Structure 1
């Protein structure tokens, strides 16, 4: 049975190494959100650096998730001191559990504060696609699909909760997932 891959990407207002209270708050919130999401029904796994330190993304060993990559529009630093981004790559059993994890609980509360931490962008901040059972999506897969979504709009290859597709490529609408429900109010 296919699984759902979810890639998120955002450009932070300040580098991850910034000692300011707002950056620490982002880290603390993020760690709490990850703990909660990892317990969510339907969650399978997320990309984690094998021996990565806090803020180390580009030089980390990501194992089966591949080499860390970012969209072409990311123009900030790439060192531990200058990196100003947040990206996630996760695997889910289906669309509904992923949607519920993203738009409820602590993640929803974090989304409501996203503009405290992230720059406003004219690019999508997430992309979803189906992968075959046993396939581990890579960072490059996420980047190429996010760029495809930005350039060409949603398609079975790269879509959003708002415009989703079933594993066979047909447009789908999961109850309560639609034009208004995936907008953070």
Structure 2
């Protein structure tokens, strides 16, 4: 059965290594959100670095089957540990409803309410979904490509959102947002 890939991307107001309270708060809540997601029904896996590196060490890190780390072409901030100012995830889910429930409840819901404290408003989509065959691990480059496609062409079976969703066969489905 196909699995649902979710890629998220946001540009932070300050680098991940910034010692300011808001940056520390964002980083700390992120770890708690990951733990909560990992226990959520419908959650399958997420991209994790093969080794725990420094905060902000995304580029050049070994991500195993998730591939080489990539960011959208429009990301213009740093790519070093000292300058990286982005937050991104790549995960697998069983279906749209469990992903929706995880994103819009619990700790993540609280974090969404504070997103403008931490993230710049870019005018670009900050997440994208697509279906992958069972047993296939999506890559960071897949996520970037799908996000850019969503921005350029809107929601389609190739790259879609909660608000305009598609089934694995490409047919439009009722949005979990109601």
TM norm structure 1: 0.94
Shift of 1:52: 3.3
Query: In angstroms, what is the RMSD of aligned CA positions?
Result: 0.8
1:40-59 equivalence runs, <5 A: 40-53=40-53, 54-59=55-60
Unaligned runs of 5+ in 2: none
Q: What is the CA–CA distance in structure 1 between the aligned matches of 2:123 and 2:134, rounded to whole Å?
A: 33
Unaligned runs of 5+ in 1: 179-185
Q: Say whether 1:7 aligns with 2:7.
A: yes
Q: What is the CA–CA distance in structure 1 between the aligned matches of 2:157 and 2:148, rounded to whole Å?
A: 14
Partner of 2:37: 37
1:88-103 equivalence runs, <5 A: 88-103=89-104
The answer (yes or no) to whether the contact 1:52–1:60 under 8 Å persists in 2 is no
Could you list the structure 1 runs, at least 4 aligned residues long, displaced by more than 3 angstroms after superposition.
none
1:6-25 equivalence runs, <5 A: 6-25=6-25
Partner of 2:68: 67
1:69-88 equivalence runs, <5 A: 69-88=70-89
TM norm structure 2: 0.98
Paired residues, what number?
177
> How big is each residue's C-alpha offset from its partner over 1:60-87, in whole Å with a ceiling of 9 and x where there is no partner?
1000000000001100000000000000
Q: What is the CA–CA distance in structure 2 between the aligned matches of 1:105 and 1:162, rounded to whole Å?
A: 20
